[in-house]
A and B are shown apart, each in its own frame.
Chain A
Amino acid sequence: MNVETVTLEKKYHDAVEHWRRHWLPDYDSLLENWEKHFPQDERFCLCAKMECGTSDTVSVGEHAGEKKRTNPSELTEEEARHLLAIIRAQASTEFGSIQQHTGTLARAQNDEDRYWVLRVMAEELRHGYQMFHLLLSQDWSKASGGVEGRQMVEEILSMGTGSHVLDAFNLEYDSFIDNICFAALIDRVGKYQLTMQKICAYRPMADSMPPMLREEAFHLAAGVIPMRRWARRAAEGDPFITMPAIQKSINKWFPRGLEMFGDERGGDKNMRFGFKDMKNREAQDLYIEEVRRMIRDINLRFLRARFPGESPEKAENRLESLERDRGRRDGVAHEDLLRLPDHRFFRRKGEPAWSMVGVDGEVFDDVDTYLRYLGTQLADGYMAARDLTLYADTLRKVVAGELTADEAVRKMPRLKRVGGNCPCSKSVRWVVEEAPASSGA
């Protein structure tokens, strides 16, 4: 690995540090305990990392075979605008996830889980910093309508849970289970986006991806490994963690993860411009299969712990039989295992937006019945949240024919910061923006 590190101009570096003091108050504790939890690992560095020696040639799209671009001025205005939206969304997700993790971090049941998530948060901060480097190291004014890099940085740092670009980053966590499921499901979408962007025709973006991906591998482990351990504890009858509690968190995040790929019918521009190497549906399908694999892995961990003397083959047979018959065998019911939600379940964007489909693909035709059903599939804390009441209000309008599905996508209100750029400012309110439904990014 040959990596060049870059530090932002002091005023921007200081702005990120200031933000960090608000949203990552345990950062100093992470650094103080780094050797204890991550012995032998390179110390954390708040800097941008650029991979050296990557390909210089565009590999997909209209410019395939040409030299990669290194300055926004070498892109067409439309390309630059599109890429800028991707960078801005990426930056927003990085800072957004830290704000979400912070809310329930202290509820981790043990120090290892807590410090793993803390490291994830610090690395997300670095990824946001990386995107700032891309915004600030070149002139994007052609694509930004005159908005300067400084203003874009201010805007992103002023976002809070509710005002981020993507919906998955606008939901509060209800418990530490969300910290873990978010890492396992939403960071997995991040892995797909970063992997697709490794070939980006804009070279600084492509060069940013490998170091971020290496860190992302641990973020996924910080989700899946605790989840495996929870499955074991649940199988052993631990009252403090259950498979249904994990399933409810999966039900919350999986639909939002699917929507992060953009509308299933989109993604052409990314390919045409050479920014990504897969369309939305293709990437989403691979993601679904990977989550299916993850759930199978967790279920096998559960069954091996529940029947400790059994061989791996017997555990696999048992799992297949429970999945096939959806019944009960030797005291384990199908409902005791994790399930991959149907891709249409609880969707509010994309092709199946506002359809009323259950976790197992069952179709509902009455709003109240569907909302009551959601109450059985989502955590109580989440059901009582503003997000669900907004979703329910909008769904009613769609079903009553007062809104089309596309209009409903646009009408979902967002929590918007309306005064001051410092996170100290709490002046936020719900607003409805007349924004395009989906960039199809």
Chain B
Amino acid sequence: MPDVQPQVRVRPLDELDIGRITEIDERITGIYRPEVWERRVGYYLRRDPDSSQVAEVEGRVVGFMLGDVRAGEFGIESPSGWIERFGIDPDFRGRDIGRQLFEAILRHFRGCGTGAVRTLVDDRDAAVAGFLGALGFTPSSLKALEMQIAQPPPEPR
């Protein structure tokens, strides 16, 4: 008998996905941080719910990709699609769910008239960098830079 895997359904994010997104993040990072996801999902829902997608298998959310369309950032005046966060439940990896999420978001970004999709990746995270490369992302001339800011010592009491 061939192994028939249940179908993946990709749909826009909604407010009832917060619990499962929190769980997926917890499975990946080992940290339970519902406040972070309440804030982030609230942000993306008020921006545009169609710019963020989740993947369901048998009615259970197993992956998510959060993004939005912005213009005027870093001198880029034309609207760009930005992908900020994504995660796939470790039990459901290797089933092309990330690509399906990305394609759904890409379709929406196209409909919004965006000319590019942008994201940031930590070079040290080879798995994520590899995934994004497989999707077609290439290094941008726009480089992420950072500088650590030392906190002043506390005032003596």
Q: Could you tell me which A residues sit within 8 Å of B by CB distance?
A: 1-2, 38, 40-41, 119, 214, 217-218, 220-221, 223-225, 228-229, 232, 290, 293-294, 297, 300-301, 304, 308, 312
Contact = CB atoms under 8 A, between A and B. Distances in A.
* Nearest 3 interchain pairs by C-beta: A217-B49, A218-B46, A221-B15
Contacts, number: 61
A361 B49 CA distance: 36
By secondary structure, the A interface counts as helix
B70 to A, nearest CB: 7
A184 to B, nearest CB: 8
Nearest to B41: A221
Nearest to B26: A312
B111 interface: yes
8 contacts: A1-B50, A40-B47, A214-B48, A218-B42, A224-B15, A225-B42, A301-B19, A304-B34
B54 to A, nearest CB: 13
A232 B130 CA distance: 38
B23 A1 contact: no
Contacts of B34: 228, 232, 301, 304
B50 A214 contact: yes
A38 B111 CA distance: 24
Contacts of A2: 111, 113
Contact of A218 (B16, B26, B45): B45
A92 to B, nearest CB: 25
Contacts of B112: 1
* Number of chain B interface residues as a range: 20 to 34
Given A228-B38, A312-B26, A294 B16 contact: yes
Most buried by B among A214, A223, A232, A308: A214
B101 interface: no
Contacts of A217: 12, 14-15, 45-46, 49
B47 A224 contact: no
Contacts of A297: 16, 18-19
Given A217-B45, A221-B45, 13 more contacts: A40-B70, A214-B49, A217-B49, A220-B14, A221-B15, A225-B15, A225-B42, A229-B38, A232-B34, A293-B16, A297-B19, A301-B34, A304-B34
B32 interface: yes
A221 B50 contact: no
Interface string B78-113: 000000000000000000000000000000000111
A214 B12 CA distance: 11
B143 to A, nearest CB: 22
Nearest to B113: A2
Interface string B1-45: 000000000001011101100010010000010110010011001
A228 B18 contact: yes
By secondary structure, the B interface counts as helix
Nearest to B46: A218
B42 A41 contact: no
A41 B19 contact: no
B18 A38 contact: no
A434 to B, nearest CB: 41
A2 B112 CA distance: 7
A25 B49 CA distance: 29
A301 B37 CA distance: 12
A166 B26 CA distance: 43
Nearest to A216: B49
A293 B34 CA distance: 17
A38 B43 CA distance: 8
B68 to A, nearest CB: 8
B42 A1 contact: no
Contacts of A293: 16
A41 B26 CA distance: 29
A290 B16 CA distance: 9
B77 to A, nearest CB: 15
Contact of B46 (A41, A228, A300, A308): A41
Nearest to A53: B111
Contacts of A308: 32
A2 B34 CA distance: 34
A396 B12 CA distance: 47
B16 A312 contact: no
B15 A220 contact: yes
A38 B44 CA distance: 11
A312 B45 contact: no
Nearest to A296: B19
Most buried by A among B12, B46, B70: B46
A365 B54 CA distance: 47
A356 to B, nearest CB: 32
A304 B123 CA distance: 34
A245 B70 CA distance: 40
Given A41-B47, A214-B49, A224 B32 contact: no
Given A217-B45, A221-B45, A1 B111 contact: yes
A225 B14 CA distance: 11
Contacts of B12: 217
Contacts of A119: 46
A312 B18 CA distance: 13
Most buried by B among A228, A293, A301: A228
A386 to B, nearest CB: 33
Contacts of B46: 38, 41, 119, 217-218, 221
A102 B12 CA distance: 31
A225 B23 CA distance: 16
